[in-house]
Amino acid sequence: MSELTTAARPYARAVFEMAESAGSLGEWSDMLGFMGAIASDEKVSALLATPKMAKQAGADAFVQLCDGKLNEQAKNLVSMLAENDRLSLLPEMSAIYEVLKDEAEGSVEAIVTSAKALTETEEKSISDALKKRLGRDVKIKVSVDETLLGGAIIQAGDLVIDGSLKGRLSKMTSVMAN
Amino acid sequence: MQLNPTEISDLIKKRIEGFETDAEARTEGTIVSIMDGIVRIHGLSDVMSGEMIEFSNGTYGLALNLERDSVGAVVLGDYKDMTEGDTAKCTGRILDVPVGPELMGRVVNSLGAPIDGKGPVNASSMNPIERQAPGVIERKSVDEPMETGIKALDSMVPVGRGQRELIIGDRQTGKTAVAIDAIINQKGKNVKCIYVAVGQKASSVAGVVRKLEEFGAMEYTIVVAANASDPASMQYLAPYAGCAMGEYFRDNGEDALIIYDDLTKQAWAYRQVSLLLRRPPGREAYPGDVFFLHSRLLERAARVNAEYVERYTEGRVKGKTGSLTAYPIIETQEGDVSAFVPTNVISITDGQIFLDTDLFNSGNRPAIDAGLSVSRVGGAAQTKIIKKLGGGIRLDLAQYRELAAFSQFASDLDEGTRKQLERGARVTALMTQAQYSPLKTGELAFSLFAANEGFLDDIDVNKVNDFESAMLSYMRTEKTDFLEGLNESGDYNDDIASEMKSALENFKSKGAW
């Protein structure tokens, strides 16, 4: 996984710089996300991994799968990736691209997992608090996990803020055990 | 059902009351791969080098490699139930171990957790295992002896408090025996001892602990054990953990002695960890920083001055210097001292005690090679009496070895040469000493005096040891106060010399040996 990231980074950065100068960050975000989803499909990855598949044929098949959603530059990217045997990196590229895009736009994505569905005011207060702490605009993704019992876990990049009842109970267990 | 000592209602109540209920914010990552005790973690973007990492099953790891997209860490403990995809959390803590007098008499692992089944260690403080050694300004030169009670060592290769003296030799040459004797000899001298066993059989460690208990030495000793069956990470860390425990005494104005048994195995463990972390191999496949591995450890053995101790203890201890004396042990292969790790450690330490297989097999035990063994600073720390009387011994032995080799070709020898050969043979015999029988300063002085003044010259070589033990037991009963005086002061002058001489003459006239 970490090796994939290392390999995908130069591609993602190149695409990002190109998109930034062309002012098409959003368009590329959609295209990369779409291509990433296709490349991570089991059947597609099995097809691309077939040894018999010629490089250009693989690229053509991939472009056809994307069904006209790609512009010329994206098609070039696909054929270059096929040439270098890197089509499987598209999901990682998409993820790195999103991080770079968020950085450039001064925003960050936070995943909030809570025990009960959050009300709008709660969501607002979490997003305000996070904005204060991280110094960036926060895009919140919400999900519900009843096993947390109470509270919520906020995940923004590598940072995890565990305010769930489950987390506190397990912390208490380890404190009592030692 | 057995109750744990921590399960007392009051303790539980206190812990619950003191429990912080704040949400905890930590950086997290996921385990990408795990093999041979090495994990690679994705994420953990702000982990520090050497930081402890907590895994979801409660075991800890140590971050060693910080790379662009991953962190390489060693697992400190069992990694069998860890899987790819598990979370790993930063703790913000550098690895530390419990330190203090509460550890005395205990056997602990590299993390300071007891492994002797005697219940928890209630140590009051924790210290990081990696610390910078005291600087030049904070040190004091070595001037107090660290007596081992072994005749050959105390007279020829003396060691001072705060010195690092290497014990080097092949397998089965009595390296551990020398170290254990040194620990036993510290009884009643207010020196705290730490024995660090790295990569040894658990049965050997148990044997050492039993011997130390037998001689009442466990009361002032801590044993840190990372056995052969423990993970390489634990074997790599054990010397640093032991050193942190020794430093506690040094910094509090006390004297401590630490034995690293042995650093060869620690270097092997470190080599294993490094190669698995894919650090490039160098000479003998050791990583590039194997010199630093040992130099930073041994540099922490030092004598510190009173100001340092006062500052460290915030004024609680005044006017006392502290010291940590180290005896690292290195095992050579077929006497090859020019291998990588032996040359490194020889160059770091302030001298070495070289143990020789041939000497050991010919019955000269401890098998100390007087020619190759040196102490670069210990002479300054010898007591006056041993310095005076021991000087002649080294010379006698050096001349004896030269003559003995030469005289094999000569048919008849002149009187002077013959005398020197005979003296040499007796001194060699005198330097043999049984295990677990360290001598006090006064006793050692009497033995050396007898050799110097020629009291042994008319004794049969085979009888030298009988003569010596009879002489010492005579002195213990007849000259108790005088011996005590010598042990205490270590002085030497003409009055003492003449009293020793007359005592020896009295004993010899009885002819009871």
Rounded to two decimals, the ipTM of the complex is 0.72
Classified as helix, coil or strand, A167 is helix
CA angle A151, A171, A132 (to 5 degrees): 50
A chain contacts of residue B43, beta-carbon cutoff 8 Å: 158
CA distance B229 to chain A (A): 24
The residue from A102, A131, A156 where one domain ends is: A102
Statement to judge: residues A7 and A93 lie in one domain: yes
Nearest one of B498, B500, B462 to B478, comparing CA atoms: B500
Q: How confident is the model at residue A55 (pLDDT cuts 50, 70, 90)?
A: confident
Tell me, what's the pLDDT at B3? 59
At residue B323, the pLDDT reads 97
**Nearest Cα residue to A173 out of B337, B143, B19:** B19
φ, ψ of residue B501 in degrees (nearest 5): -65, -45
Residues A82 and A130 in one domain: no
The confidence score (pLDDT) of residue A177 equals: 67
> Which pLDDT band, with edges at 50, 70 and 90, does A24 fall under?
confident
Q: Binding-site residues of B for ATP, please?
A: 169-176
pLDDT at A178: 60
Q: Are B153 and B393 in contact (CB under 8 A)?
A: no
A174 touches chain B (CB under 8 A): yes
Does B337 lie at the interface with A, CB-CB under 8 angstroms? Answer: no
Best to test chain A binding among B21, B34, B59, B69 (most A CBs inside 10 Å): B69
Q: C-alpha angle with apex B183: B488 to B380, nearest 5 degrees? A: 50
CB-based contact, B40 to chain A, within 8 Å? yes
Answer with the one of A47, A69, A102 that is the final residue of a domain: A102
Question: Pick from B342, B434, B60: which is nearest to A174 by CA?
Answer: B60
Q: Is the pLDDT of residue A2 over 80?
A: no
Task: Give the largest Cα separation in chain A, rounded.
Answer: 62
**C-alpha B466 chain-centroid distance:** 31
Task: Tell me the pairing of strands B125-128 and B96-99.
Answer: antiparallel
Which residue is it, tokens 């809570």? A114
Q: Which residues of A touch B5 (CB under 8 A)?
A: none
Q: Provide the shortest C-alpha distance from residue A167 to chain B (in Å).
A: 9
Per-residue pLDDT tens over the stretch A156-176: 888 888 888 888 888 888 777
**What residues of B act catalytically?**
376
Interchain CB distance below 8 Å, A161 and B44? no
Whether A9 and A68 map to the same domain: the answer is yes
**Domains of chain B: which residue ranges?**
25-95, 104-118+144-382, 385-510
Architecture of the domain whose range is B385-510: Up-down Bundle (1.20)
Identify the bridge partners of residue B329 per DSSP, sorted by sequence position: B167
Residue B123 DSSP symbol: -
User: A174 and B89 in contact by Cβ < 8 A?
Assistant: no
Residue B21, strand partner residues = none
Tokens of B504: 């020896």
Interface check for B13 against chain A (CB to CB < 8 A): the answer is: no
CB contact under 8 A, B19 and A2: no
Short-list A121, A124, A113, A126, CA closest to A155: A113
DSSP string, B309-332: HHHHTTTSS-S--EEEEEEEEEE-
Cα B238 versus chain centre, distance: 13
Q: What six digits make up the tokens of A37?
A: 């989803």
Going by their DSSP bridges, the two strands B51-55 and B87-94 should be labelled as: antiparallel
> Which CATH fold would you assign to the domain B104-118+144-382?
Rossmann fold (3.40.50)
CA distances for B113 relative to B78, B117, B241, B495, angstroms: 15, 10, 11, 54
Same domain, A28 and A92: yes
For chain B, residues with pLDDT lower than 50 are: none
Could you tell me if A70 and A122 lie in one domain?
A: no
Q: Is some CB atom of chain A closer than 8 A to the CB atom of B458?
A: no
Residue with tokens 């997992």: A113
Structure token digits, residue A89: 């990196």
**Which residues does A145 contact at the CB level (< 8 Å), separation at least 6?**
A113, A114, A115
> Given A58, A76, A102, which residue is the final one in a domain?
A102
End-to-end CA distance of chain B: 62
Residues B231-251: pLDDT tens digits? 999 999 999 999 999 999 999
Domain count, chain A: 2
3-state secondary structure B476-509: HHHCHHHHHHHHHHCCCCHHHHHHHHHHHHHHHH
Q: Does B23 touch chain A (CB under 8 A)?
A: yes
Q: How confident is the model at residue A132 (pLDDT cuts 50, 70, 90)?
A: confident
Q: Are residues A94 and A29 in the same domain?
A: yes
Interface of A with B in 7-36 (CB under 8 A): 9
User: Quick one: A75 and A143 in the same domain?
Assistant: no
Annotated binding site of B: 169-176
Fold of B25-95: Elongation Factor Tu (Ef-tu); domain 3 (2.40.30)
Q: What is the pLDDT of residue A137?
A: 83
Helix (H) or strand (E) holding A140: strand A137-144
Domain span at residue A173 reads 107-177
* Chain A CB contacts of B27 below 8 Å: 158-160
Asked if B15's CB is within 8 angstroms of A162's CB, the reply is no
CB contact under 8 A, A163 and B23: yes
Q: Which residue from B27, B40, B69 is facing A6, i.e. has the nearest CB?
A: B69
To the nearest whole Å, the CA of B276 is away from the closest chain A CA by 16
What are the chain B neighbours of A161 within 8 Å (beta carbons)? 23-25
* Cα gap B208→B206, rounded to integer Å: 5
Q: Are residues A39 and A85 in the same domain?
A: yes
Closest Cα in chain B to A169: B21
Mark whether A78 and A9 lie in a shared domain. yes
The answer to whether the CB atoms of A160 and B27 lie below 8 A apart is yes
Q: How confident is the model at residue B333, as a pLDDT?
A: 95
CATH number at residue A116: 3.40.30
> Which among A1, A163, A167 is the nearest to B42, CB-wise?
A1
| Cβ distance of A168 and B46 shorter than 8 Å | no
Are both A85 and A38 inside the same structural domain?
yes
Task: Let me know whether A12 and A98 are in one domain.
Answer: yes
Tell me if B89 and A5 make a contact (CB, 8 A cut-off): no
The reply to whether A92 and A121 lie within a common domain is no
